[in-house]
Structure 1
Amino acid sequence: MDAAGTYNSMKNAFEFFLFELEGSNVLDTDARFASATRYAADDVPNPGWPSKTSAGNGIAASGIWKILSTKISFDNPAWNRWVEEVAGPATLCALHADGGDGEFQFVLNSLRVIRENTEVMENEVEPTGEKIAEFVVVLPSVFRGGQLQLSHDGEVKTWNLADESGLLTVGAYVGVDQTWGSIESGYCVSLCYDVLYHGAHSPSLADLDDQSGQAPQFLACLLHDQCKQLPFEPCSLRGIDEQLLGVLRPFARELGFSLHLADIEVTVKIAAGWSKGDSSVVWEEAESFGDYSFASSFTGDLDGKLEITQTYDLQGIPAVVEGLEIELKDLVNGANVTLYEPHSTTDDGCGHSVDTYKRTILIVLPANTSLNVTVRNVHEIAWDVLSTSSSTTATPKEKCLIDYYVRWCAMVPEGLDELQRVLRLIRTCSERWGDIDIFLAAMEAARRVSSVGLDDLVLE
């Protein structure tokens, strides 16, 4: 939130910073700035800084002067260049303000002089027109005290201005509360600049109210494609869904996130008289993330209930995410379930039709989630998938299940019947795929195969 420089290092750019107050002499801000600020404080009348009873304009107290920019002129053009090329851009960088296609402008608002024995001053950086932020340049002056505190949504940052040597620049977005501590001795002189933004999407300070420091339990995204039948096979993802998964997979690997798919049924209650012609967006027309593919199709109130019918990993292996509860409002791209015809429609007898939609969602689970993911009956699932497979090359799902069986062979307890059954299945798959290494890995894991014949194998 801050960007600092020193007065001495700026002397080559502007040997003496000069400003002129309307109707007064020229003041300089060399090392003996205290005498000049005393002149400003004693002889410049209070231009009407609002009092504590003034609504919406901040708080001022005795001993604080605000001199409007219309009464100030600069004699050294190097100062304006420094504001435009150094202080302003440094403030934007510290505030992480990305202007996109817009333009920023730094406009002098006022000169502020705070003298000793002033009350604590509190005010809020208020939005006016195109103003998105402000930065204050505390000029080299001699004083003690004057601590500056910025606060927003419970987060507080503090600067001891008197401890800084030379020039100090502090920036803050609109909406941030400022508290200037009492000056114990001397004078604190500063220039206040408004940061204006001319563009479509103004940078702004993030809302910290909901930032608890913990990652959400999950993120859920409704897939664009309508599944033709359930369960949905991950290998059938295409178009935008395939692009989305391709983008998320490397991030998930890097950050330790897990990705899952879930089949859902959504029942939507719609008042009589609503026409499906109100749905004007078709996802099939969207070819990339750049299109308005996340737009909502239903503009009325969506009275819907979401139920998860099956959850599985990206290999299609069923899993259970204990404690996972998802509502339509949790879908990050909106509850756009009405883009296709419902799978079924019934009448509730009260003037409403109840449509049932079957869709698929992508679930992202962070590494530190408290939700427990378990795979149940994977042994039977592996048998059902592999024993009925006719593929000539192992699919990702089949490879995953074979890996499970190889690990299982190394841990199987006493009792050879099931081990022999599994090894026979692995041998069959290995022969069909033309990959004998799969069967050899299983035998090595089992360490109980005494002989292998053309039609059978013997365990010991």
Structure 2
Amino acid sequence: MRTQKASVEQSERGESEEHATEDEVEDDEEEEDDDDDSDDDEDESDESTDDEPEVKISNPCKDIKTGLAAALKTKSSSTNQGTFALSKTYQDAPVPGLRVVGLGRVVLPLDKKNAQKLIGVCKLAPFGKGERTIVDKNVRDTWELAPEKVSFDNRHWDSWLKTTVIPYVNRQLGVSAIARCELYKLLVYEKGSHFLPHQDTEKAKGMFGTVIIVLPSAFEGGQLHMSHSGQTKIFDIAEDSEFCTSVMAWYSDVRHEVKPITSGYRLALSYNLITPTGSPRPGLSDHSQIVAEVRHVLMSWRQNFAQSTPDKLAYILDHKYSSFGIGSGVLKGADAQKVEILRSLAKECRFKIYLASAELHVSGGADGYDSEEGCAGGMAYVNEKDLTIENVVDLDGEDAEFADEDLVLQNPDDFIPHALDAGEPDNEENEGYTGNEGGGIEYWYNQTVILIWPRNRQDAVFGADWLAGATRRLMYSNSISATPAEQKLVERVLVRIESGTMSDETCRELFKTAIGWQDLKLWLRIARIAKIESRTSVLTCKDLTGAAVTFGFDKVQSLLTNILFLSPSNAYRLNLVAAINESKLSKQADVAAWCEAQRKLIIESLKIATQDDVPALVAVAKSKGISFIQSSIIPQLLSLSCKRSFWFTFLEELQAQRDAIGPSAQKVADVIKATLTSLLKKIDPLTVRPQVPRAYSYDTTPEYDPQPTIQLLKICLKLDCPDLCATVLGKLMKKNSEGDERTRQRRTSQVYQPVMTALTSYTKPPFSINLENPPFAEFMKMVVGDVVDISLGGWNIDWG
């Protein structure tokens, strides 16, 4: 006995519902269909479908864990919790001994000769349209035979229906009362036979569903498409139809369509499912809103590769099941409903879904003796936690294609709607207590979970770095045009990057690939996804110039212009223009003019400078002269929030290159001194360290860092401007009287004393300053007394 698997197809759902409305078909007759939930996991290749282009979901869910937990939060109730349609194929079903009036015994499997004889005693099946019952082969093309003309010679046939088929159907449809079935019609399908989308009408009192039994008969095609509340299933039983018997069943209000038979003949028995007298008529709950919410979260998940997005999740079910219970698919109440919803969406949303047992073992130390309970208390601290995932099966109870131990989950990160150990433990072992101290204690938490992850996370779920592997494959490719496999690989990589998994190395390999294939469209698409207009770390100026040479300057000019406008790096902007101007592209008059215009624009619109910009700015100084730097560059930079590290490096490099910068080294020195003077006027020489909270301490006295102060003095000396030390020292002396005694003591110990030590060291080469001359003498005279007092213990100082 083999269970067929249900699959979901979004496009079929939309077509089926629209077509049904257009034709206004109501089934006066029964429609059967083939079953076989063809497993999407079997049919769908990870390589070809996981990351293929798909419509981006609007207003995506950002918090996947919370969103999925909320979407699946359904409560058990008196409404139906079963599936809306089912299919199962039996290899060991009894031969019915089918007998037809006027024909005699029908031999199975049905062959062409006997099929034609059987059709000869049948009539075309009608269907309901409004209040009429009509025959129209464009809508329904099927042969039928009334039940009174059909009988079964094998007494085991009815027994098999009552003991095997009906109990299984009741259980899967979630019917509480034991329903019975009565034969409605014998149906024969030939090549071209079909039935457009429709719903069944009530053909007998108490009827709530239909059972179709397809007897052994070889055919192809004839898939049955089922839809209800936003969920869709496709049953395809043709593969095993010649020697097996298939059973399909569904509720009457389920829309379904029989696709055309493409070859052979299909022989089926249609039964009405009838509820016992006095029992309420079973019906389906409308889960369309739940399905829509779950679909939205799942699609948001598979399209989001941000670092905070989980690769996998384990949803804890309401009930706990033994490994046998999981394997045989016996789920209760809302658990069955959740699994059914996820099953119906698995193929459409491209997800892997399994059931498993999760056990968390927690060991630690117990609390002391509990006088009220007369025993050791609970767990005082945790020593170790061990999480085990086992009995992993797919939704049909078949073993997963991976070993249980290959899947690693973390508690509570990977579990929803709560952690595994959120409640009371299922089992507990306590070593007891000794005196007032507890011994060891162990807890076990056991849950049945739904394991779920997007198919495009399969590699990440099992620890494989897919993106790194894909990058290596691109790196070693030497093709001059894209093969189909390489096209798919590039597409998958682009989807990953666009969805949040940004990698500069991968982007660079993609660009090289596009250059190698001379594919401008791909190159521009990569540029957009990699956001190279503002991310200068991806491509070098040489790379961009090479692309302009390969594809033509006019093809990438707009992008290059945007890069120059948006890039935060002055050096990158200037170097890019220089690289293009030095390439063979500059032989084109329009390119040379563009370079000149862009260089002028960059210099007039500098960004906040960093140390990386220094070589490019010094190059401008060599080209334009120091007067240009003084009039055009330095005023801009002074108006921006450039860090001291930039200024010190920039001024030092100007000094080092002063002989190469016009008009003279002395002019360069004058500009350096003027610039440093402007900087020092804006800088506070005292640097307060960030306050670090301390337990039981309410001290708000500032802590100082002397190094920035010492660096200011040192840069003045390095730039041959010792007299500018007066600005720094003058500000320090003005600060001397500020604050309470504790603040002044700390300032002396943490700033003045280190500065005095540094100045003393500068009396030696290369600076060789004289501390008896201004501006150092006045400062030393002011601080030396206080520093000596500290050294001799004159002040009772809290050193922090």
TM-score tier after normalising by the smaller chain length: 0.3 to 0.5
Between structures 1 and 2, the one with greater strand share: 1
**TM-score, reference length from structure 2:** 0.25
Structure with the bigger RCO (C-alpha within 8 Å, sep 6+) is 1
User: Comparing both structures, which one devotes a greater share of its residues to helix?
Assistant: 2
Larger Rg: 2
